[in-house]
């Protein structure tokens, strides 16, 4: 699978692994990160809000100690600043805390920004963001956003897609799991015919369904027009 280049010429692995997990289950994140690195993933999607940076750090140290041929710079680790930490001193604290745990920053970006927000920000930003991480899947294609880093965060309950996944011998689940078999299945590259791509595109027709909304987790309403 070819890795795209960001506009600062930094390569980002095309397939990443979401590290959001049940913080009440101690060790789950650590075990999952070890499994995904063994499976070949080199991109971890993380966030301070997930409250598991320490487990990710422990997993990385353990895995690197057993795989000396792979270096920290071979991994792309995405961190996210939550909307309620928008004051300069909060941004600095969150950044320094994450950098101390997971390593240096090579690229910066935004998450869940609308086109109008991006256009306004680009008028004053001194550094152009390298990516806009958004939810995207057949039920929410987000085609209008163009070239972006995309994430799918929720299983899709659709008979046609489930049948296609069964036909291809893969699991119809997102790239976020603590199950080692699913982790490995999600890393398999599947070739699709034009007809099969059409099946996926057809699932998007007439749909605009958002599974993940920051309003639920942080009270920050990114898309007020969708609830009006």
Q: Which residue has the tokens 């959001």?
A: 20
Q: Is residue 100 part of a domain?
A: yes
Structural domain includes residue 97:
yes
- Which of 49, 50, 124, 220 is flagged as catalytic? 50
Instruction: For the chain, give the longest Cα–Cα distance.
Output: 54
- Does 8 map to a domain? no
Is there a domain that residue 41 lies in? yes
Q: What is the pLDDT along the chain (228 residues), one digit of tens a residue?
A: 678 888 888 888 888 898 987 777 889 999 999 999 999 999 999 988 888 989 999 999 999 999 999 999 999 999 888 777 778 888 888 878 777 777 778 888 888 888 888 899 999 988 888 888 888 777 887 777 754 444 444 445 567 777 777 787 665 444 567 788 888 878 887 888 899 888 888 877 777 788 778 787 777 788 888 765
Q: How does DSSP classify residue 196?
A: H
How far, in Å, are 31, 45, 70, 83, 199 from residue 67 at the CA level? 16, 21, 6, 36, 40
> Could you give phi then psi for residue 196, rounded to 5 degrees?
-70, -40
Task: Specify the pLDDT at position 112.
Answer: 85
Residue 1, in any domain of the structure? no
Q: Nearest to residue 44, comparing CAs of 175, 190, 139? A: 175
List Cα–Cα distances, 139 to 34, 81, 82, 86, 204, in angstroms.
Answer: 31, 26, 25, 30, 5
Residue 117 falls within a domain, yes or no? yes
Enter the tokens of residue 74: 């071979």
pLDDT at 148: 46
Judge contact between 115 and 145, C-beta under 8 A.
yes
The residue range of the domain holding 112 is 17-227
Q: pTM of the entire structure?
A: 0.82
49 is known as an active-site residue: no
Q: Which two tokens stand for residue 85?
A: 């930490």
Number of domains into which the chain is organized: 1
Percent helix, percent strand, percent coil in the chain, to nearest 5? 40, 10, 50
CATH number at residue 207: 3.20.20.100
In a domain, 23, yes or no: yes
- The residue behind tokens 């935004």 is 110
């Amino acid at each position: 699978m070819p890795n795209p280049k960001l506009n600062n010429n930094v390569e980002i692995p095309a397939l990443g692994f979401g590290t959001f997990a049940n913080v009440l289950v101690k060790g789950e994140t650590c075990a999952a990160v070890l499994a995904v690195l063994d499976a070949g993933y080199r991109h971890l999607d993380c966030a301070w809000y997930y409250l598991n940076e320490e487990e990710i750090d422990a997993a990385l140290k353990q895995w690197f100690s057993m795989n000396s041929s792979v270096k920290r710079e071979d991994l792309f680790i995405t961190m996210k600043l939550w909307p309620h930490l928008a004051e300069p001193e909060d941004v600095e604290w969150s950044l320094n805390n994450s950098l101390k745990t997971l390593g240096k920053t090579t690229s910066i970006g935004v998450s869940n920004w609308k086109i109008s927000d991006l256009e306004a920000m680009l008028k004053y930003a001194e550094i152009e963001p390298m990516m806009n991480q958004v939810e995207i899947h057949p039920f929410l294609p987000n085609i209008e956003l163009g070239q972006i880093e995309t994430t799918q965060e929720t299983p899709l309950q659709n008979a046609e897609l489930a049948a296609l996944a069964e036909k291809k011998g893969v699991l119809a689940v997102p790239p976020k799991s603590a199950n080692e078999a699913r982790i490995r299945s999600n890393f398999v590259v599947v070739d699709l015919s034009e007809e099969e791509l059409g099946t996926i595109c057809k699932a998007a027709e007439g749909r605009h369904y958002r599974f993940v909304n920051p309003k639920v987790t942080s009270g920050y309403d990114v898309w007020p027009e969708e609830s009006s």
